């Protein structure tokens, strides 16, 4: 191969790499914007205390993690939560908790799916991601969220238990039951709902996401 041909090949490779990077930035930006919008469309669930809000922001993050890899999903989660910082009512602790919990979902799901991109693998990855999110939710709330609310915001455990009871969840009587009957079912429910939606729409959107 002549020097001229080598330069042409190198220039072509650089052009392809630059084009791929541009496409990745564009798709990640669009999915992040969708996640930001969906994060603000939050609402309460029955039997859950008012401070627990449900949203569909993990749908774009999962679409990103399935089409472009687990790190892309985590980046979408990071951008989503960074955009929420100026409007934080929890001194950024809520955003940190959301990032840790939701990133565990999309990262684990993406890590498993990228090894074998089949429907069966997608189901397994989403189940594993839901389990990871549920475990992370318990740890983050036990070690970060609840201590923060108690010390920084003056909301003790009894107040949170009262909020849960007031929402109709009479199973909550202490810390263990709060974790078991509030945070665990909340994250399982969220994981199942988000997973079903992603399974229904991913195949239809896949040609666009892989352009």
DSSP 8-state code for residue 86: G
State the 10-residue block means of pLDDT for the chain, 211 residues long: 50 57 91 96 93 94 96 97 91 93 97 94 97 98 89 83 93 95 97 97 85 70
Give domain 8-209's CATH number out of 1.10.150.110, 3.40.1080.10, 3.30.390.30, 1.10.1760.20.
Answer: 1.10.1760.20
How many residues are listed for the chain in this entry?
211
Instruction: Show the 3-state SS of 112-171.
Output: HHCCCCCHHHHHHHHHHHHHHHHHHHHHHHHHHHHHHHHHCCCCCHHHHHHHHHHCCCCC
The structural domains of the chain, with segments of one domain joined by +, span 8-209
Global pTM reads: 0.88
Check residue 151 and give its pLDDT: 81
Check residue 21 and give its pLDDT: 86
């Amino acid at each position: 191969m002549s020097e001229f041909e080598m330069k042409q090949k190198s220039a072509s490779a650089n052009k392809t790499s630059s084009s791929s990077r541009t496409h990745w930035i564009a798709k990640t930006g669009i999915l992040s914007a969708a996640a930001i919008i969906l994060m603000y469309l939050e609402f309460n669930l029955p039997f859950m205390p008012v401070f627990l809000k449900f949203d569909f922001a993990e749908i774009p993050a999962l679409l990103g993690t399935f089409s472009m890899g687990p790190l892309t999903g985590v980046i979408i989660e990071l951008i989503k939560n960074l955009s929420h910082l100026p409007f934080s009512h929890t001194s950024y602790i809520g955003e940190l908790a959301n990032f840790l919990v939701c990133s565990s979902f999309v990262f684990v799901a993406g890590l498993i799916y990228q090894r074998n991109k089949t429907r069966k693998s997608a189901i397994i990855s989403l189940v594993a991601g839901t389990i990871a999110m549920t475990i992370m939710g318990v740890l983050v709330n036990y070690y970060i969220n609840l201590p923060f609310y108690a010390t920084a915001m003056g909301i003790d455990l009894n107040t949170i238990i009262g909020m849960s009871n007031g929402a109709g969840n009479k199973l909550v009587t202490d810390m263990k039951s709060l974790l078991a009957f509030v945070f665990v079912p909340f994250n399982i429910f969220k994981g199942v709902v988000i997973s079903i939606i992603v399974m229904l729409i991913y195949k239809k959107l896949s040609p666009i996401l892989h352009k």
